[in-house]
């Protein structure tokens, strides 16, 4: 049973304070994680960049590898994979920074429904905004993959970054397919994956039962569970934890994705 369910709201006490520390940590290591992740999302899809929305393209660029940059930088104007932001950059680092700067303008300050629920544990709006944009970016960077493609991508990442790997994509209206995989860092300890807290998720009890059936394991391949949102027009959050590892916050954006750059 999780520490907090929807009926208990989001006044977490110590957990809400931990979000502040997590926000700072996320900002400090976001570029480092992009460098460490050798898995290329473009290897798992045949969709061109032109088929993605702007936040997906920007998020993909913010995580892309040197190999991806070299290939996409060579695309000529008019090509389905041509993207001005990449074409104008002299290096992968410059392209990533340009994408992050553009994403920083996403107006998450309108998310009063979530900010009000945090209580008094976190008052720095800039930290909260930066955390939310960074977490959405991680979802947007691959949410255009199919469920099967996303599981393969998650397995690739999990094989290179031990611990709990999470990703997801919108499915039917009000449904977000959460994909997750786990590899124990030391490879011998069996752990249980569980829900620590949730917000705006209608079937969280079913998800807890699903995790309980997985049981105590050290490693497991990617699997997908459909989360049904209480209000699809509002953002949702799930906090998961594998054993005693650091809790993983999954911020679920609203879909269809708004055109933030109009």
In the structure, what pLDDT confidence band is assigned to residue 108 with cuts at 50, 70 and 90?
low
Single pTM value for the model = 0.79
Residue 14 has pLDDT above 70, yes or no: no
Position 121 scores a pLDDT of 44
Reduced to 3 states (helix: H, G, I; strand: E, B; else coil), residue 233 is coil
Position 114 scores a pLDDT of 45
8-37: average pLDDT: 39
Contact between 191 and 218 (Cβ < 8 Å): yes
Position 187 scores a pLDDT of 59
Answer whether the bond into residue 256 is a cis peptide, omega within 30°: yes
Most trustworthy range by pLDDT among 186-195, 221-230, 244-253: 221-230
Q: Phi/psi class of residue 36: alpha, beta or left (left: φ > 0; alpha: ψ in -120 to 50)?
A: alpha
Position 190 scores a pLDDT of 86
Nearest by Cα to 36 from 63, 67, 72:
63
Q: Which of 3-12, 64-73, 219-228, 238-247 has the lowest mean pLDDT?
A: 3-12
Specify the DSSP class assigned to residue 230: S
| pLDDT tens-digit readout, 202-232 | 999 999 999 999 999 889 999 999 999 999 9
8-30: average pLDDT: 39
Residue 58 Cα distances to 61, 202, 234, 257, angstroms: 5, 30, 22, 13
Find the length of the chain.
Answer: 262
75-88: average pLDDT: 97
Q: Which comes out higher in pLDDT, residue 11 or 166?
A: 166
């Amino acid at each position: 049973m999780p520490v907090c369910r929807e009926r208990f709201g989001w006044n977490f006490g110590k957990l809400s304070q931990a979000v502040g520390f997590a926000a700072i940590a996320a900002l400090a290591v976001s570029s480092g994680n992009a460098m460490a992740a050798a898995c290329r999302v473009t290897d798992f899809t045949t969709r061109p960049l032109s088929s993605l929305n702007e936040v997906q393209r920007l998020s993909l660029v913010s995580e892309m590898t040197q190999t991806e940059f070299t290939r996409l930088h060579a695309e000529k104007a008019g090509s389905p994979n041509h993207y001005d932001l990449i074409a104008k950059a002299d290096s992968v680092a410059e392209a990533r920074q340009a994408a992050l700067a553009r994403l920083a303008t996403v107006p998450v300050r309108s998310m009063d429904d979530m900010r009000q629920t945090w209580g008094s544990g976190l008052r720095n709006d800039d930290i909260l905004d930066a955390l939310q944009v960074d977490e959405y970016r991680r979802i947007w960077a691959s949410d255009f993959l199919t469920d099967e493609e996303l599981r393969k991508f998650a397995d690739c990442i999990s094989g290179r970054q031990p611990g709990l790997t999470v990703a997801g994509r919108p499915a039917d209206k009000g449904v977000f397919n959460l994909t997750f995989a786990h590899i124990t860092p030391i490879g011998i300890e069996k752990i249980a994956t569980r829900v620590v807290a949730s917000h705006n998720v209608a079937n969280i009890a079913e998800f807890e039962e699903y995790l309980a059936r997985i049981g105590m394991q050290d490693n497991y391949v990617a699997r997908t569970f459909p989360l049904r949102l209480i209000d699809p027009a509002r953002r949702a959050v799930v906090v998961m934890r594998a054993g005693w590892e650091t809790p993983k916050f999954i911020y679920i954006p609203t879909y269809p994705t708004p055109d933030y750059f109009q």
